[in-house]
């Protein structure tokens, strides 16, 4: 595919997805998805609501029925069950955060620790607010704080790749910035495949981007080039990239849900 994984020219991709097809309850939700994720930086997955972004991540993780070839650092993982894919170093921050609401922040984090020396200090530096709230039940946190817990859980382990699904959805602008700060910092240590509909966040964080429409990859390139292409963003993302500020893009999206 032209322009594919341009940022990975110097090194092999950390993830390569070929002809991925996924079904949910017999319905095909991902048609024929192929792309590569460079071994460094943030790669954005863009596309309108319902095009199959979440299903693509869930297919990579084996959380839904899938066919096709998925390689992590060159090794096939498409035949593995989810827990083995996670053990190989694929961290997941799901779309709806999925914190254990009755458990405290500390308990939520402890449950996520997979390795002997979890990166507790790194996470504590990144999210001081969570340290202060360690004994608070996660269900009583704000949406933004719950998102921090969800991201923090993934960062406790030495992952080779993070899959992060719409981390800023529904958050107030100030919190969007905080979550973006955390992802930017995290991306210095681990490559991230980021589903994100807030184009200001994409503009700030993403190096490369893929655009999905109707369950297929329809465009691959540099995130900046895609965002600067007004016709493309209008056709494939349903917004005017040049004119939409973060809040407009966000509220349009949540209203259209
Ligand atoms: N549990 C499910 N059962 C049946 N169909 C589903 C289920 N989850 C998703 N779908 C369908 O699969 C398609 C892709 O959904 P998916 O959630 O992957 O899209 P998305 O791009 O992540 O959307 P959004 O922007 O709303 O998060 C949609 O048509 C959706 O209706
Ligand atoms: Mg989704």
**Domains of the chain, CATH where assigned:** 6-96+159-256 (3.40.50.300)
pLDDT at 238: 77
Gap between the Cα atoms of 212 and 220, Å rounded = 9
Gap between the Cα atoms of 154 and 183, Å rounded = 11
Asked if the model's pLDDT at residue 8 lies above 90, the reply is no
Of residues 184 and 237, more confidence is placed in 184
Kindly report the number of other CB atoms within 10 A of residue 87's CB atom: 13
Q: What is the mean pLDDT of residues 173-184?
A: 93
Helices (H), ranges, the chain? 53-60, 82-87, 105-112, 120-126, 128-132, 143-155, 173-186, 199-205, 223-228, 230-232, 246-256
pLDDT digits (tens, 9 = 90+) for 123-172: 999 999 999 999 999 999 999 999 999 999 999 999 999 999 999 999 99
Q: How far is the CA of 202 from the centre of ligand 2 (A)?
A: 16
Kindly report the number of other CB atoms within 10 A of residue 230's CB atom: 13
Gap between the Cα atoms of 96 and 93, Å rounded = 9
pLDDT at 65: 96
Q: Which of 175-179, 235-239, 251-255 has the highest mean pLDDT?
A: 175-179
Q: How many residues does the chain have?
A: 257
Judge if the beta carbon of residue 29 lies within 6 A of ligand 1.
yes
Give the dihedral sign, CA 54/58/63/66.
positive
- Rounded to two decimals, the pTM is 0.89
Minimum-distance ligand to the CA of 28? Answer: 1
Judge if the beta carbon of residue 9 lies within 6 A of ligand 1.
no
Judge if the beta carbon of residue 103 lies within 6 A of ligand 1.
no
pLDDT bucket at 44, cuts 50 / 70 / 90: very high
Asked if the model's pLDDT at residue 249 lies above 90, the reply is no
Closest ligand 1 atom to Cα of 58 = 18
pLDDT bucket at 247, cuts 50 / 70 / 90: very low
* Gyration radius from the chain CA atoms: 17
Kindly report the number of other CB atoms within 10 A of residue 5's CB atom: 21
Minimum-distance ligand to the CA of 253? Answer: 1
Judge if the beta carbon of residue 169 lies within 6 A of ligand 1.
no
Ligand 1: residue of 23, 47, 54 to mutate (most ligand atoms within 8 A of CB) is 54
Q: How far is the CA of 53 from the centre of ligand 1 (A)?
A: 8
Judge if the beta carbon of residue 47 lies within 6 A of ligand 1.
yes
Q: How far is the CA of 114 from the centre of ligand 1 (A)?
A: 29
Of residues 231 and 62, more confidence is placed in 62
CB 43 within 8 A of CB 194: yes
Judge if the beta carbon of residue 149 lies within 6 A of ligand 1.
no
pLDDT digits (tens, 9 = 90+) for 51-109: 999 999 999 999 999 999 999 999 999 999 999 999 999 999 999 889 999 999 999 99
Residue nearest to atom 30 of ligand 1 (CA): 50
The token pair that represents 60 in the structure block:
């990579």
pLDDT bucket at 235, cuts 50 / 70 / 90: confident
The tokens 């992590």 sit on which residue? 72
């Amino acid at each position: 595919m032209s322009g594919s994984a341009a940022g990975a020219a110097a090194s092999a991709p950390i993830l390569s997805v070929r002809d991925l097809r996924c079904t949910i309850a017999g319905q095909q939700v991902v048609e024929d998805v192929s792309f590569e994720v460079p071994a460094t930086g943030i790669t954005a997955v863009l596309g309108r609501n319902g095009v199959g972004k979440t299903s693509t991540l869930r297919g990579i993780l084996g959380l839904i029925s899938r066919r096709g070839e998925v390689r992590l650092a060159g090794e096939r993982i498409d035949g593995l069950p989810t827990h083995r894919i996670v053990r190989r170093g694929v961290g997941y921050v799901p779309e709806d955060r999925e914190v254990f609401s009755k458990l405290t922040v500390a308990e939520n984090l402890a449950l996520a620790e997979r390795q002997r020396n979890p990166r507790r200090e790194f996470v504590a530096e990144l999210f001081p607010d969570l340290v202060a709230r360690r004994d608070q039940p996660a269900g009583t946190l704000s949406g933004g704080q719950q998102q921090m817990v969800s991201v923090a859980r993934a960062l406790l382990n030495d992952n080779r790749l993070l899959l992060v699904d719409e981390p800023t959805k529904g958050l107030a602008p100030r919190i969007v910035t905080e979550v973006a700060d955390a992802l930017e910092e995290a991306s210095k240590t681990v490559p991230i495949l980021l589903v994100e509909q807030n184009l200001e966040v994409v503009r700030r964080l993403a190096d490369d981007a893929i655009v999905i429409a109707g369950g297929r990859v329809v465009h691959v390139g540099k995130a900046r080039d895609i965002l600067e292409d007004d016709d493309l963003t209008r056709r494939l993302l349903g917004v005017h990239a040049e004119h939409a500020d973060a809040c407009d893009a966000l509220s349009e999206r949540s209203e259209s849900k």
